[in-house]
């Protein structure tokens, strides 16, 4: 090699070395950061639902990026709730995203949400922060809910007839949807319904449905129309109303903190007279989180001095609470007289003479309201409560 060529080689080598080192030290190539998203979808009764997990790079790269992935069971089980997958995802050079699909299997059963995991490891030409895990949440909103209503294991079962009474109306909730000749929905938040309640009442099957001969009203912790909870409130107003008789309602109750299940009646003149002039009969209320073994029976009316008149009493069971088995909540209602019962055991009786400051409004017809409120001025707040909270009603019967 001649001197000129050797000199030129040395100059070029020094220039190349300096350009790589920036005048000192080694330049590290910055690899893009790989991130993934969580996915939450409702499963269907039949067929598969595709959960698509997107994988993104913080920047494009000049070479292909690959990363290994695999599903892992959680409360959702492989081959029962989802089809397991594993493999390698490639994001081509110059591209910034890709995806992995996981198929969730169909199931009509209403149950708590299920979760599985999609784990990403061993990236090439990218980095991840430790092990990057995406969560797949399966919303199990089917309308089949297994319920044991038998007397042997399901709790108290009232007789289908009584001496001196005839069955004049009932709903056994044996269809697929609520009978529109019996029930309509109240929806919205309505400013907390006068009680500071936190839920938004809907008319969709997430919050009320029929299954196995029962009505299920389900309170859920979910954001809807600016509220953090949803539930359902149904009534027979304008459809079915009654004056006097024996009323039996068989139900199993939610008892979590903040849950406020209620089976009650309002005077049929509510729309014209307003509350409490119309009168309110609370056949059953429970203060969720405060005493799961105690229910309340109450009457409300309007006093002459424009205050609310109230008479109430409680019924306690032991050692169980009202969520574990069905119980029958009843009133025997006559002119000037209402008696409250649980499982045919009387615990409160009120007479017209008890209203000394106002007018007894309970000799006029009333309609039913069934609902599960969340929060408000009656129960405790729903702190740390596991949702959904469900009230299950087996039947309502009116004898006269």
Phi, psi of 72 (to 5 degrees): -135, 135
Strand partners, 264: 282, 369
| Residue closest to 134 by CA, chosen among 162, 163, 179, 100 | 100
**Cα angle for residues 396, 281, 348 (degrees, 5° grid):** 95
How far apart are alpha carbons 298 and 281 in whole angstroms?
Answer: 6
Select which of 199, 218, 285, 348 is catalytic.
Answer: 285
Q: Please work out, in degrees rounded to the nearest 5, the angle formed at the alpha carbon of residue 203 by the alpha carbons of 189 and 290.
A: 55
CB-CB neighbours of 32 under 10 Å: 18
Say which residue the tokens 């469900």 belong to: 390
Q: What counts of helices (H) and strands (E) characterise the chain? A: 3, 25
Q: What are phi and psi of 192, to 5 degrees?
A: 85, 10
Q: Of the listed 197, 199, 280, 348, which one is catalytic?
A: 280
Query: Cα-flanking dihedrals φ and ψ of residue 3, to 5°?
Result: -65, -40
Q: Look up residue 268 and give its two tokens.
A: 């049929």
| Contact between 36 and 54 (Cβ < 8 Å) | yes
Q: What DSSP designation does 365 have? A: -
Q: How far is CA 164 from CA 161, 167, 187, 245, in A?
A: 9, 10, 39, 11
Q: Active site includes 348?
A: no
Is 399 within 8 Å of 245 (Cβ atoms)?
Answer: yes
For the beta carbon of residue 329, count every other beta carbon within 10 angstroms: 26
Q: Which residues are CB-neighbours of 209 under 8 A, at least 6 positions away?
A: 110, 143, 145, 177, 215, 216, 218
- Number of Cβ within a 10 Å radius of residue 47: 10
Active site residues: 280, 285
């Amino acid at each position: 090699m001649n001197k000129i060529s050797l000199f030129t080689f040395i100059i070029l080598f020094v220039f190349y070395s300096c350009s790589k080192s920036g005048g000192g030290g080694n330049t590290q190539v910055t690899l893009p950061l790989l991130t993934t998203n969580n996915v939450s979808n409702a499963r269907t009764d039949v067929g598969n639902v595709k959960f698509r997990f997107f994988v993104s790079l913080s920047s494009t790269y000049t070479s292909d990026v690959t990363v290994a992935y695999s599903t892992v069971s959680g409360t959702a089980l492989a081959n029962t709730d989802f089809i397991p997958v594993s493999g390698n995802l490639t994001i081509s050079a110059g591209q910034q995203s890709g995806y992995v699909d996981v198929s969730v299997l169909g199931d009509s059963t209403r149950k708590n949400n299920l979760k599985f995991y999609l784990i990403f490891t061993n990236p090439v030409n990218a980095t991840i922060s430790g092990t990057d895990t995406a969560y797949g949440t399966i919303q199990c909103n089917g309308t089949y809910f297994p319920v044991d209503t038998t007397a042997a294991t399901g709790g108290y079962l009232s007789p289908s007839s009584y001496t001196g009474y005839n069955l004049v109306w009932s709903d056994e909730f044996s269809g697929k949807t609520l009978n529109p000749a019996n029930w309509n929905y109240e929806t919205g938040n309505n400013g907390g319904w006068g009680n500071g309640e936190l839920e938004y009442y809907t008319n969709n099957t997430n919050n009320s449905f029929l299954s196995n001969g029962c009505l299920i009203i389900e309170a859920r912790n979910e954001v809807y129309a600016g509220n953090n909870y949803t539930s359902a409130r149904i009534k027979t107003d304008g459809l079915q109303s009654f004056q006097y008789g024996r009323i039996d309602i068989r139900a199993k109750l939610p008892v979590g903190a903040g849950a406020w299940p209620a089976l009650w009646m309002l005077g049929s003149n509510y729309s014209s007279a307003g509350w409490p002039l119309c009168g309110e009969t609370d056949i059953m209320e429970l203060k969720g989180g405060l005493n799961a073994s105690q229910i309340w029976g109450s009457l409300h009316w309007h006093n002459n001095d424009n205050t609310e008149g109230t008479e109430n009493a409680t019924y306690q069971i032991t050692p169980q609470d009202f969520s574990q088995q069905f119980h029958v909540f009843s009133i025997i209602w006559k002119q000037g007289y209402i008696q409250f019962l649980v499982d045919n055991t009387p615990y409160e009786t009120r007479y017209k003479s008890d209203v000394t400051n106002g007018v007894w409004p309970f000799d006029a017809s009333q309609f039913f309201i069934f609902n599960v409120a969340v929060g408000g001025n009656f129960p405790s707040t729903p702190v740390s409560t596991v949702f959904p909270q469900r009230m299950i009603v087996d039947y309502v019967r009116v004898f006269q």
